Amino acid sequence: DLAGKLAGARVLMTAGPTLEDIDPVRYVGNRSSGKMGFALAAAAVAAGAEVTLVAGPVQLATPAGVRRLDVRSALEMHQAVFRELPGQDIYIGAAAVADYRPAEPMNCKRKKSGDEWQLRLTLNPDILADVAARDDRPFVVGFAAETNDVEKHARDKLQRKRLDMIAANQVGLPHCGFESCDNALSVFWPGGGEDIGLGDKQTVARRLLQLIAEQWSAR
Ligand code: C5P
Protein backbone atom coordinates (compact mmCIF):
# COMPACT_ATOMS: atom_id res chain seq x y z
CA ASP A 1 0.00 0.00 0.00
CA LEU A 2 1.38 3.40 -1.06
CA ALA A 3 -0.79 5.71 1.03
CA GLY A 4 1.25 8.23 3.00
CA LYS A 5 4.64 6.84 1.94
CA LEU A 6 5.59 10.17 0.35
CA ALA A 7 3.28 12.44 2.33
CA GLY A 8 4.32 16.06 1.84
CA ALA A 9 7.27 15.22 -0.43
CA ARG A 10 7.79 17.20 -3.61
CA VAL A 11 8.56 15.04 -6.64
CA LEU A 12 9.79 16.37 -10.01
CA MET A 13 9.76 13.91 -12.88
CA THR A 14 10.22 13.71 -16.63
CA ALA A 15 8.50 11.31 -19.03
CA GLY A 16 8.05 10.60 -22.71
CA PRO A 17 10.40 11.18 -25.62
CA THR A 18 11.97 14.44 -26.72
CA LEU A 19 11.60 15.48 -30.36
CA GLU A 20 14.45 17.33 -31.99
CA ASP A 21 13.41 19.51 -34.91
CA ILE A 22 15.27 19.38 -38.23
CA ASP A 23 13.02 21.92 -39.95
CA PRO A 24 9.37 23.04 -39.48
CA VAL A 25 8.00 19.66 -40.67
CA ARG A 26 10.67 17.06 -39.71
CA TYR A 27 12.21 15.87 -36.47
CA VAL A 28 14.46 13.22 -34.91
CA GLY A 29 12.57 11.24 -32.27
CA ASN A 30 12.27 7.92 -30.44
CA ARG A 31 9.58 5.36 -29.61
CA SER A 32 9.05 6.21 -25.93
CA SER A 33 5.31 6.22 -25.12
CA GLY A 34 5.66 7.91 -21.72
CA LYS A 35 3.47 5.23 -20.11
CA MET A 36 5.99 4.19 -17.45
CA GLY A 37 6.62 7.79 -16.38
CA PHE A 38 2.93 8.66 -16.30
CA ALA A 39 2.21 5.52 -14.23
CA LEU A 40 4.97 6.59 -11.82
CA ALA A 41 3.46 10.06 -11.54
CA ALA A 42 0.08 8.53 -10.66
CA ALA A 43 1.75 6.27 -8.08
CA ALA A 44 3.57 9.25 -6.53
CA VAL A 45 0.24 11.10 -6.16
CA ALA A 46 -1.25 7.97 -4.54
CA ALA A 47 1.70 8.03 -2.11
CA GLY A 48 0.82 11.58 -1.07
CA ALA A 49 3.49 13.50 -3.00
CA GLU A 50 3.14 16.86 -4.70
CA VAL A 51 4.03 15.92 -8.28
CA THR A 52 5.32 18.05 -11.16
CA LEU A 53 5.64 16.13 -14.43
CA VAL A 54 7.66 17.56 -17.30
CA ALA A 55 6.36 15.67 -20.32
CA GLY A 56 7.64 15.33 -23.85
CA PRO A 57 5.08 14.93 -26.67
CA VAL A 58 2.88 11.94 -25.70
CA GLN A 59 -0.70 10.83 -26.27
CA LEU A 60 -1.61 10.33 -22.61
CA ALA A 61 -4.08 11.89 -20.21
CA THR A 62 -2.63 13.73 -17.22
CA PRO A 63 -3.06 11.61 -14.06
CA ALA A 64 -5.37 13.24 -11.51
CA GLY A 65 -3.55 15.54 -9.12
CA VAL A 66 -0.42 15.91 -11.27
CA ARG A 67 0.90 19.31 -12.34
CA ARG A 68 2.00 18.79 -15.94
CA LEU A 69 4.34 20.96 -18.02
CA ASP A 70 4.61 20.07 -21.71
CA VAL A 71 7.87 20.45 -23.60
CA ARG A 72 9.15 19.27 -26.97
CA SER A 73 12.95 19.15 -27.14
CA ALA A 74 15.72 18.14 -24.74
CA LEU A 75 16.78 21.79 -24.39
CA GLU A 76 13.22 22.78 -23.42
CA MET A 77 13.05 19.87 -20.97
CA HIS A 78 16.38 20.87 -19.42
CA GLN A 79 15.13 24.44 -18.99
CA ALA A 80 11.80 23.39 -17.43
CA VAL A 81 13.52 20.94 -15.05
CA PHE A 82 16.00 23.53 -13.79
CA ARG A 83 13.26 26.14 -13.37
CA GLU A 84 11.23 23.70 -11.25
CA LEU A 85 14.12 22.09 -9.34
CA PRO A 86 14.47 24.39 -6.29
CA GLY A 87 12.70 22.86 -3.29
CA GLN A 88 12.14 19.41 -4.82
CA ASP A 89 12.81 16.34 -2.64
CA ILE A 90 12.97 13.69 -5.34
CA TYR A 91 13.85 13.83 -9.05
CA ILE A 92 12.87 10.92 -11.31
CA GLY A 93 14.24 11.07 -14.87
CA ALA A 94 11.98 8.69 -16.77
CA ALA A 95 12.08 10.55 -20.10
CA ALA A 96 13.83 9.09 -23.13
CA VAL A 97 15.82 12.25 -23.75
CA ALA A 98 17.39 12.43 -27.20
CA ASP A 99 21.16 12.25 -26.81
CA TYR A 100 21.67 14.39 -29.94
CA ARG A 101 19.82 17.16 -31.79
CA PRO A 102 20.25 18.59 -35.29
CA ALA A 103 23.23 20.94 -35.19
CA GLU A 104 21.70 23.44 -37.62
CA PRO A 105 17.90 23.38 -37.35
CA MET A 106 16.32 25.11 -40.37
CA ASN A 107 13.63 27.80 -40.28
CA CYS A 108 12.26 26.78 -43.67
CA LYS A 109 11.38 23.34 -45.00
CA ARG A 110 14.41 21.75 -46.60
CA LYS A 111 13.88 21.15 -50.32
CA LYS A 112 14.63 17.77 -51.85
CA SER A 113 17.95 17.94 -53.65
CA GLY A 114 20.61 15.39 -54.50
CA ASP A 115 20.95 11.66 -53.71
CA GLU A 116 22.12 12.10 -50.14
CA TRP A 117 21.48 14.27 -47.14
CA GLN A 118 24.01 14.29 -44.35
CA LEU A 119 22.40 15.51 -41.16
CA ARG A 120 24.85 16.76 -38.55
CA LEU A 121 23.85 16.18 -34.91
CA THR A 122 25.23 17.72 -31.75
CA LEU A 123 25.22 16.42 -28.16
CA ASN A 124 22.31 17.40 -25.88
CA PRO A 125 22.89 18.20 -22.20
CA ASP A 126 22.42 15.21 -19.85
CA ILE A 127 19.54 16.47 -17.69
CA LEU A 128 19.84 13.68 -15.14
CA ALA A 129 23.59 14.06 -14.67
CA ASP A 130 23.23 17.86 -14.41
CA VAL A 131 20.57 17.50 -11.66
CA ALA A 132 22.72 14.95 -9.79
CA ALA A 133 25.80 17.19 -10.01
CA ARG A 134 24.21 19.97 -7.94
CA ASP A 135 25.24 20.50 -4.31
CA ASP A 136 21.64 20.95 -3.14
CA ARG A 137 20.41 17.96 -5.15
CA PRO A 138 17.25 16.06 -4.42
CA PHE A 139 17.17 12.24 -4.19
CA VAL A 140 17.91 11.32 -7.83
CA VAL A 141 16.45 8.34 -9.69
CA GLY A 142 17.43 7.47 -13.26
CA PHE A 143 16.43 4.89 -15.83
CA ALA A 144 18.58 2.78 -18.09
CA ALA A 145 17.62 0.75 -21.12
CA GLU A 146 20.09 -2.06 -21.64
CA THR A 147 20.21 -4.98 -24.04
CA ASN A 148 22.89 -6.98 -22.18
CA ASP A 149 24.88 -7.12 -18.91
CA VAL A 150 22.04 -5.16 -17.28
CA GLU A 151 23.45 -5.06 -13.72
CA LYS A 152 27.00 -4.17 -14.77
CA HIS A 153 25.91 -1.29 -17.01
CA ALA A 154 23.26 -0.04 -14.58
CA ARG A 155 25.64 -0.03 -11.59
CA ASP A 156 28.23 1.72 -13.73
CA LYS A 157 25.67 4.41 -14.65
CA LEU A 158 24.59 4.71 -11.00
CA GLN A 159 28.16 5.63 -10.05
CA ARG A 160 29.10 7.65 -13.10
CA LYS A 161 26.03 9.91 -12.96
CA ARG A 162 26.10 9.98 -9.10
CA LEU A 163 22.52 8.66 -8.82
CA ASP A 164 20.76 7.45 -5.67
CA MET A 165 18.85 4.78 -7.57
CA ILE A 166 18.60 3.38 -11.09
CA ALA A 167 15.83 1.35 -12.71
CA ALA A 168 17.01 -0.73 -15.65
CA ASN A 169 14.84 -2.39 -18.20
CA GLN A 170 16.12 -4.94 -20.61
CA VAL A 171 15.10 -3.81 -24.08
CA GLY A 172 14.81 -6.13 -27.02
CA LEU A 173 12.67 -8.65 -25.12
CA PRO A 174 9.12 -9.31 -26.34
CA HIS A 175 6.34 -7.71 -24.21
CA CYS A 176 8.81 -5.37 -22.58
CA GLY A 177 9.74 -1.73 -22.52
CA PHE A 178 9.18 0.96 -25.15
CA GLU A 179 5.67 1.24 -26.60
CA SER A 180 4.38 -1.82 -24.75
CA CYS A 181 2.03 -1.98 -21.79
CA ASP A 182 4.13 -4.38 -19.74
CA ASN A 183 7.52 -3.92 -18.20
CA ALA A 184 10.06 -5.58 -15.91
CA LEU A 185 12.76 -3.66 -14.06
CA SER A 186 15.99 -4.36 -12.22
CA VAL A 187 16.44 -1.68 -9.60
CA PHE A 188 19.81 -0.86 -8.04
CA TRP A 189 20.97 1.54 -5.33
CA PRO A 190 24.39 1.83 -3.68
CA GLY A 191 23.63 -0.74 -0.95
CA GLY A 192 21.29 -3.16 -2.70
CA GLY A 193 18.87 -3.99 -5.45
CA GLU A 194 15.61 -5.71 -6.39
CA ASP A 195 14.13 -7.26 -9.49
CA ILE A 196 10.56 -6.22 -10.22
CA GLY A 197 9.10 -9.02 -12.34
CA LEU A 198 7.08 -8.58 -15.52
CA GLY A 199 3.80 -6.83 -14.89
CA ASP A 200 1.62 -4.06 -16.28
CA LYS A 201 3.25 -0.64 -15.99
CA GLN A 202 0.86 0.46 -13.19
CA THR A 203 1.89 -2.46 -10.98
CA VAL A 204 5.59 -2.09 -11.76
CA ALA A 205 5.40 1.69 -11.17
CA ARG A 206 3.79 1.21 -7.76
CA ARG A 207 6.51 -1.22 -6.64
CA LEU A 208 9.25 1.08 -7.93
CA LEU A 209 7.69 3.99 -6.11
CA GLN A 210 7.65 1.96 -2.88
CA LEU A 211 11.40 1.30 -3.26
CA ILE A 212 12.04 5.00 -3.96
CA ALA A 213 10.06 5.99 -0.85
CA GLU A 214 11.97 3.48 1.31
CA GLN A 215 15.41 4.55 0.12
CA TRP A 216 14.51 8.24 0.23
CA SER A 217 13.34 8.08 3.85
CA ALA A 218 16.34 5.93 4.84
CA ARG A 219 18.89 8.29 3.35
O1 C5P B 1 23.01 7.34 -20.23
P2 C5P B 1 21.59 7.05 -20.59
O3 C5P B 1 21.02 7.96 -21.63
O4 C5P B 1 21.34 5.58 -20.90
O5 C5P B 1 20.79 7.33 -19.23
C6 C5P B 1 19.40 7.25 -19.19
C7 C5P B 1 18.91 8.13 -18.09
O8 C5P B 1 19.44 9.44 -18.26
C9 C5P B 1 17.40 8.30 -18.08
O10 C5P B 1 17.01 8.47 -16.72
C11 C5P B 1 17.20 9.57 -18.89
O12 C5P B 1 16.02 10.24 -18.51
C13 C5P B 1 18.43 10.38 -18.51
N14 C5P B 1 18.92 11.28 -19.57
C15 C5P B 1 18.83 12.66 -19.41
N16 C5P B 1 19.32 13.51 -20.37
C17 C5P B 1 19.92 13.01 -21.47
C18 C5P B 1 20.04 11.62 -21.64
C19 C5P B 1 19.53 10.78 -20.68
O20 C5P B 1 18.27 13.11 -18.40
N21 C5P B 1 20.39 13.86 -22.39
Share of the chain above pLDDT 70, in %: 96
Residue 187, in any domain of the structure: yes
Closest by CA to 10, choosing from 61, 53, 39, is 53
SS3 at position 51? strand
Between 12-16, 36-40, 155-159, 196-200, the lowest mean confidence (pLDDT) is in 196-200
Is the pLDDT at 171 greater than 90? The verdict is no
* pLDDT tens, residue by residue, 124-152: 999 999 999 999 999 999 999 888 899 99
Share of the chain above pLDDT 90, in %: 90
For residues 131 and 16, give the distance between their C-alpha atoms in angstroms, rounded to a whole number: 18
Q: 60 CA distance to ligand 1 centroid (A)?
A: 21
Ligand 1 atom 5: the closest Cα is on which residue?
144
Residue 38, in any domain of the structure: yes
For residues 10 and 154, give the distance between their C-alpha atoms in angstroms, rounded to a whole number: 26
Residue 41, in any domain of the structure: yes
For residue 176, how many other CB atoms are within 10 A of its CB? 15
CATH number reported for the structural domain that contains residue 21 in this entry: 3.40.50.10300
Closest by CA to 79, choosing from 130, 122, 119, 45, is 130
Residue 34, in any domain of the structure: yes
Q: Write the CA distances from 98 to 37, 75, 128, 166, 169, integer angstroms.
A: 16, 10, 12, 19, 18
Domain with 125, as residue range(s), is 10-102+120-218
- Residue 143: CB within 6 Å of ligand 1? yes
* pLDDT tens, residue by residue, 81-100: 999 999 999 999 999 999 99
For residues 69 and 88, give the distance between their C-alpha atoms in angstroms, rounded to a whole number: 15
Residue 132, in any domain of the structure: yes
Residue 4, in any domain of the structure: no
> Structurally, how many domains does the chain consist of?
1
Residue 108, in any domain of the structure: no
Residue 111, in any domain of the structure: no
ipTM score of the complex? 0.95
Closest by CA to 43, choosing from 81, 86, 5, is 5
Ligand 1 atom 21: the closest Cα is on which residue?
126
